[in-house]
Amino acid sequence: MKIAVYPGSFDPVTLGHYDIIERTSKIFDKVILGVLNNRAKSPLFSAGERVNMLKEVTASLPNVEVQSFEGLLIDFVRQNGAAIIVRGLRAITDFEYELQLAQTNRVIAPEVDTIFLTTNLKYSYLSSSIVKEIAEYDGDISEFLHPAIAARVREKLKERG
């Protein structure tokens, strides 16, 4: 069984992420979405909330599973018996960081490969941080997120005041 891990912060999951998830689910037998619980970052949503939002938007994709993880990505990949890491590439600006990450991971775990899916052009400009910024200024985020996720972002920002 070919298992892939697609890791990220997903704070929150955007339609750009979803596009990569859907395409990945057609290539592999099983896809594990790894929600990075990074204590150094201060995300808008907790890891638990991000996991639940991903579960909600991927409910119709039976071979997609969601988990959160802390620590080294490679350890998470190994624990799940996966051999592939999937990342999305939007623009050349993503490339340098992604290349460095992939090469480092390959030194730590030569049996694990990273593959890149290029973004759907429709979403090539889209990032979770831009969406959060627009929402903070009361802008319309419905073009960028699943409706349930857009509602969650608005609620969260209201709670925060």
Binding site as annotated, residues for ATP = 9-10, 17, 88-90, 98, 123-129
Compute CA distances 86 → 50, 72, 102, 142, 157, whole Å: 18, 15, 10, 26, 30
Task: Give me 135's structure tokens.
Answer: 């929402």
- Residue 16 contacts ligand ADP per CB under 6 A: yes
- Is 17 an active-site residue? yes
* Helix, strand or coil, per DSSP, at residue 116: strand
- Residue 128 contacts ligand ADP per CB under 6 A: yes
Task: Give me 129's structure tokens.
Answer: 């941080």
Interface map 68-107 toward ligand ADP (x if CB under 6 A): -------------------xx-x---x-------------
Cβ closer to ligand ADP: 88 or 105? 88
Nearest to 160 by CA among 131, 136, 139: 136
Cβ closer to ligand ADP: 126 or 150? 126
- Residue 50 contacts ligand ADP per CB under 6 A: no
Compute CA distances 94 → 6, 120, 140, 161, whole Å: 16, 14, 25, 32
Cβ closer to ligand ADP: 147 or 161? 147
- Is 26 an active-site residue? no
How many residues touch ligand ADP (CB under 6 A)? Answer: 16
Cβ closer to ligand ADP: 80 or 124? 124
Q: How far is CA 141 from the centre of its chain?
A: 18
Q: How far is CA 103 from the centre of its chain?
A: 20
Residues that bind ligand ADP (CB under 6 A): 8-10, 14, 16-17, 20, 87-88, 90, 94, 119, 123, 126-128
